[in-house]
Amino acid sequence: MEKLKNIIHKEETVISISGLYKSFENLEVLKGIDFNLFRGENVAVLGKSGSGKSVLIKIIVGLLKPDKGDVVILGKQIAHLHGKELDALRLHIGFSFQNSALYDSMTVYQNLAFPLLMNMKNMSKKEVDNAVHEVLDAVGLKDKNKQMPSDLSGGQRKRIGIARTLILKPKIMLYDEPTAGLDPITSAEIIDLINEVQEKYNTSSVIITHDLTCAKNTANRIAMLHKGKFIKIGNFEEVFAADTDNEHLKGFFNYNFIQ
Amino acid sequence: MFKYGSKKYLISKGIDQYFIGVTNAFRFTTLFFKEVFKRPFHLREVINQCFEVGLKSLALISLTGFIVGIVFTKQSRPSLEDFGATSWLPSLIGIAIVKALGPLVTALICAGKVGSGIGAELGSMKVTEQIDAMEVSAINPYKYLVVTRVLATTITIPVLALYCSFVSLYGSYLNVHVTETVSLLSFYQNAFKTISFLDIFTSVAKSIVFGFTIGIVGTYKGFHADQGTRGVGRAANQAVVLAMFLIFIEEVLIVQISNWF
């Protein structure tokens, strides 16, 4: 696994979240989240299943509306955006879904070309072809463009899912459980890919995961989410310091270590 | 406010959810009229969907229409013979098929075949986050998935209904031809003798309403599918049941309204 080599621009915040609350009926999922992501930075949000990690990134991308709080992406309050303004912002955000969410009635090529054809109407066929082949090359799956998603392995689907977000050249990447359900070797390949994407496309990333190996190797900072709140934010060593007295952090570390 | 457990409901959970569902369905339907006139029009996808709805239902509609024509003629003939009015058979069959049976049979078949297909397809896209993936790629999923499919059913089902009526009349002609010597042309001429322009217009208008209903119900149920594969099955099933229910209600209303003219 290659180590992350990125330059963080602390003077430029790309995601700023303050006082974020979200609940579903009586279930409070997020209870006051404060968080900043700087340009060029990778932050891993760690937490158990049901701790609100996926809800957090769905709010960031505007798929869910917060009950309370401010979410500012690239200087724009996402809750105030609608229609074309929201779509324009979304072109700068890449979202890699946990289950890849590839369009299963389309080939790999069509999956990748679709966001371009829908958003960049003036692109020629050759330009679309070039863009598709460039991202396929970036994720190391040059020869798969004619295959259907059902013919791909889990790891290949994740790669194509990431390629589909890269085709719009986003400034921010959101990864929802990028290594979930993958074997250790494929997980390591995806971790390398996340770092390569960061280097090549200069993205800032939020990586939602419960895999400590993934978090350690892809993130500059780790934010530990527990019961809807960040209980610790810092680099890996700070968060999982040997003298930590937080039972939850200890348990999470030991579980991953044993695994 | 009544309290059930720790949740607050206006009346009760079931009644509240019913009205929320009706409101959502109403909003979903009105959104179609807002979006249909906005760019982009996704004409290629509309044509694809017309092909899916039309060509793929053609065999089933041909067979059903043909059988309806034969059966209806066979059932009507004895009653007309009792009154010595068998010469009225083509007119009776023509009115029944063009005004009522053609559009209704086509709509019911399409509700089963097309409505369930749309419900299952969109439901599956919803539970596998493909609709969310479109949204985060700055593609309006309502415009691309709902508007195109509803337009396709609204355009194609009237055409299929007219086709079904012609096939039914042909079935009827063959049945008549077994016992009587009558040419196809004169049978069709007799069948259409008593059918006015208003009848054809009502029939087409009815099919447009049925087509719209099938499309909007299928897409609504698919778009709101949840709870994994079970939800997909439920969306497909509800798309058929609700569309058929609404088609019968619309049939009664349209017949009532057309009788005023």
What tens-digit pLDDT sequence spans chain B (261 residues)?
344 444 577 888 889 888 999 999 999 999 999 999 998 899 999 999 999 999 889 999 999 999 999 999 999 998 988 888 888 889 999 999 999 999 999 999 999 999 999 999 999 999 999 999 999 999 999 999 999 999 999 999 999 999 999 999 999 999 998 888 889 999 999 999 989 999 999 999 999 999 999 999 999 999 999 878 899 999 999 999 999 999 999 999 999 998 887
Position A68 pLDDT exceeds 80: yes
Domain boundaries, chain B: 1-35, 43-259
pLDDT band at A256 (very low <50, low <70, confident <90, very high): low
Reply yes or no on whether the pLDDT at A142 is more than 70: yes
pLDDT at B108: 96
pLDDT tens digits, one per residue of A81-101: 988 899 999 999 999 999 999
What is the chain A residue with the closest CA to B124?
A104
Contact B7 A104 (CB under 8 A): no
Average pLDDT over every residue of A159-177: 94
Q: What is the pTM of this model?
A: 0.89
Question: Mean pLDDT throughout A29-56?
Answer: 91
Report the pLDDT value the prediction gives residue A250, as an integer from 0 to 100. Answer: 66
Q: Which of B125, B136, B147 to mutate against chain A (most A CBs within 10 Å)?
A: B136
Contact yes or no for A88 and B138 at CB 8 A: yes
CB nearest to B138's CB, from A91, A99, A121: A91
Q: Strand, coil or helix: what is A192?
A: helix
Whether pLDDT at A231 is above 80: yes
**Position A141 in a domain:** no
Q: What is the pLDDT of residue B5?
A: 44
- pLDDT, position A244: 66
What is residue A7's predicted lDDT score, i.e. its pLDDT?
81
Q: How many CB pairs under 8 A join A and B?
A: 58
Taking an 8 Å cut-off on Cβ atoms, the answer to whether B133 and A97 are in contact is yes
In a domain, A251, yes or no: yes
Report the pLDDT value the prediction gives residue A2, as an integer from 0 to 100: 62
Q: What is the pLDDT of residue A4?
A: 67
pLDDT computed for residue A126 by the predictor:
95
Residue A259 pLDDT more than 80?
A: no
| A121 in reach of chain B (CB within 8 A) | yes
Is A258 a residue whose pLDDT tops 80? no
Is the Cβ of A157 closer than 8 Å to some Cβ of chain B? no
Task: Give me the pLDDT at residue B3, please.
Answer: 42
pLDDT for position B1: 38
Q: Best mutation site among B126, B137, B144 for testing chain A: the one with the most A CBs within 10 Å?
A: B137
**Mean pLDDT across the stretch A61-80?**
93
Cβ of B144 within 8 Å of Cβ of A118? The answer is yes
> Residue A48's pLDDT is what?
84
Segment A146-160 shows an average pLDDT of 94
* B-contacting residues in A 187-226 (Cβ below 8 Å): none
* pLDDT for the residue numbered B2: 40
- Between the alpha carbon of residue B90 and those of residues B68, B83, B163, the distances in Å are 14, 15, 17
Q: How confident is the model at residue A243 (pLDDT cuts 50, 70, 90)?
A: low
Could you give the number of structural domains in chain A? 1
What CATH code is carried by the domain that includes residue A54? Answer: 3.40.50.300
Q: Is residue A243 part of a domain?
A: yes
Residue corresponding to tokens 């020869």: A143
Mean pLDDT of chain A: 89
What's the distance, Cα to Cα, between the start and end of chain A in Å?
18
Range of the domain at A21: 1-92+173-178+205-259
For A25, name the nearest residue in chain B, comparing CA atoms only: B7
Residue of A97, A164, A168, A173 to mutate when probing chain B, most B C-beta within 10 A: A97
